Structure 1
Amino acid sequence: MDLQDQLKNLFPDHVPSEEDQKEEQSNVWLQDEPLLCKYEKRKGKPVTIIAGYNGADNDFKTLAKEIKTMLSVGGSFKNDEILIQGDYRDKIMDFLKKKGFNVKRVGG
């Protein structure tokens, strides 16, 4: 039983508005070219790098924050790249595909 079902049981007369029914839309500009998702080791530690975004820097920073929050890991935004601590290529690629991005895996 998810939260929506519990709310329906608590408030059977409530009619959800259109805003509640809308799916979460990405507020980030989508592009035609794929984002590059690659893995490197820097100073012996694994790092996942996402590059190739040609939209606004603020959108890319917002995307970086969403990824870091979803994975509960650290990371940063430097030189038009998102750096995520650890090897999370598969999870990040699935997340970006759900957001509507084209993603290309680079290396191994």
Structure 2
Amino acid sequence: MHSLQDTQHQFCQALAIVRTLPDDGPLQPSATEKLRFYGLYKQATQGDCTLSPPPATNKIQYAKWKAWQTMKSLNPVQAQKLYVNLLAKLLLEFIEDHPEHDQYVEFLQYLQLDDLLPGN
């Protein structure tokens, strides 16, 4: 069981990792995952979306709005936990497919999620 402080620390660490993933690096979240990260981030940092939807013709802004709107009613701590879990899931899938990339194992350790590593 994690304390609120632990959750916030993990969330900040996860943000740092996601923000530093190189655009041309081996770990690339899908468009759907990127939108989920966006929606969870907005919910965790700003709460429920109160903005009017942008025109559907503005596909990028509409997709972002919808991703945030989908998270409505999650409290910020839940959104933080889901953000960390989404990153952990991506890292674990990558580690399973590319065990030679030790950097991603280090990311899980950095998030203090060592217990999720294969073999633990």
TM-score by length of 2: 0.23
Bigger strand share: 1
Q: TM-score, normalised by structure 1?
A: 0.24
Structure (1 or 2) with the larger CA radius of gyration: 1
Which protein has the bigger helix share? 2
